[in-house]
């Protein structure tokens, strides 16, 4: 199996898990990681810095049409939706929020699903709304691998539970197991 891209979505209760994942990936980890995370309006600034403290890979908030490179994590910027275009670059948009969210996980996941098909691993973490469920369904439809954080471990389980009822989830894993899985990807 040759997965080439990883996308992670999360909302309430996911920040620590994302931080742990990023700090556990080795410097040599070479797949691009996309992060679509809801954030509270008042912590819009400083989010990259907070995530970067322990991360071994460089985290950036991409500009529109930014080329996607290995060894980098791309955080959807506040107030933009993040898409993935053929030709290996990112596209941003300011369309209306979806599921009251911008960035919306559904948009980023569905876009990654169409563009990367069976080369994509999509991981959905803790969250308090159903954003991401339809995105996960598209990932599954396009042949990508779907993973959710074990709802019993999530601070808020609405997001993962919604995804599990929307589509077939390939793996339900604890945060530790998600990390183990990613680190051992070959």
Partner 1 sequence: MPVSQEDIALVINAIKNNSDYDFSDYSSKSFTRRIEKALIDFRLDIDKLLVKIKQDPDFVDQLVKNITVNTTELFRDPKVWQALRYRVLSKFTSYRKINIWHAGASTGQEVYSLLILLHEMNLFEKANVFATDINTDVIERAKAGEYSYRFNLEYFENFDKVIKENPFNYDEFNEIPYEKYFEIDQVNDIIKAKEFLRKKPVWFKHDLVKEGNIFNTKFDIILCRNVLIYFNTELQDKVINTFSKSLFRKGVLMIGAHESIIGPVANNFIKSGFFYIKKD
Least Cβ distance, residue 91 to partner 1 (angstroms): 5
Q: Which helix (H) or strand (E) holds 181?
A: helix 175-183
In the set 23, 114, 155, 156, which binds partner 1 (CB under 8 A)? 114
Is residue 132 within 8 A of residue 154, CB to CB? The reply is: no
At residue 161's C-alpha, the angle toward residues 78 and 146, to 5°, is 75
Which residue among 14, 24, 38, 106 is the active-site one? 38
Least Cβ distance, residue 17 to partner 1 (angstroms): 25
Bridge pairing between strands 145-149 and 171-173: parallel
Find the distance separating the first CA and the last CA of the chain, reported in whole Å: 8
Burial of residue 113 (number of CB atoms within 10 Å: 0-12, 13-18, 19+): buried
In the set 61, 118, 150, 170, which binds partner 1 (CB under 8 A)? 61
Instruction: Decide if 38 is catalytic.
Output: yes
Tokens in use for 2?
């040759």
**Contact flags string 123-162 toward partner 1, x per CB under 8 A:** ----------------------------------------
| Contact flag: residue 91 with partner 1 (CB under 8 A) | yes
Residue 119 DSSP SS3:
helix
Among the residue ranges 9-17, 75-83, 151-159, 164-172, the one whose residues contact partner 1 (CB under 8 A): 75-83
Bridge pairing between strands 171-173 and 89-93: unpaired
* Rounded-to-integer distance, Cα 108 and Cα 7, Å: 8
| Contact flag: residue 45 with partner 1 (CB under 8 A) | yes
Among the residue ranges 6-14, 26-34, 73-81, 168-176, the one whose residues contact partner 1 (CB under 8 A): 73-81
Bridge pairing between strands 89-93 and 81-85: antiparallel
In the set 15, 83, 109, 116, which binds partner 1 (CB under 8 A)? 83
Q: Which residues bind partner 1 (CB under 8 A)?
A: 41, 45, 61-66, 77, 79-80, 83-86, 91-96, 107, 111, 114
């Amino acid at each position: 199996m040759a997965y080439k891209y990883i996308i992670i979505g999360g909302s309430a209760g996911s920040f620590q898990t994302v931080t742990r994942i990023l700090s556990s990936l080795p410097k040599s980890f070479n797949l691009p990681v996309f992060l679509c995370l809801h954030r509270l309006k008042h912590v819009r600034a400083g989010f990259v810095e907070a995530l970067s403290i322990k991360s071994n890979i460089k985290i950036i908030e991409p500009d529109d049409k930014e080329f996607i490179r290995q060894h980098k994590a791309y955080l959807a910027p506040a107030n933009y939706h993040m898409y993935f275009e053929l030709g290996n670059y990112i596209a941003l948009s300011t369309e209306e929020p979806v599921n009251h969210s911008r960035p919306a996980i559904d948009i980023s996941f569905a876009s990654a699903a169409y563009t990367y098909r069976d080369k994509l691993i999509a991981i959905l973490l803790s969250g308090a709304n159903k954003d991401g469920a339809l995105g996960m369904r598209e990932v599954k439809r396009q042949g990508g691998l779907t993973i959710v954080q074990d709802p019993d471990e999530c601070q808020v389980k609405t997001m993962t539970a919604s995804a599990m009822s929307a589509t077939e989830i390939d793996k339900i894993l604890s945060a530790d197991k998600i990390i183990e899985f990613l680190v051992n990807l070959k």
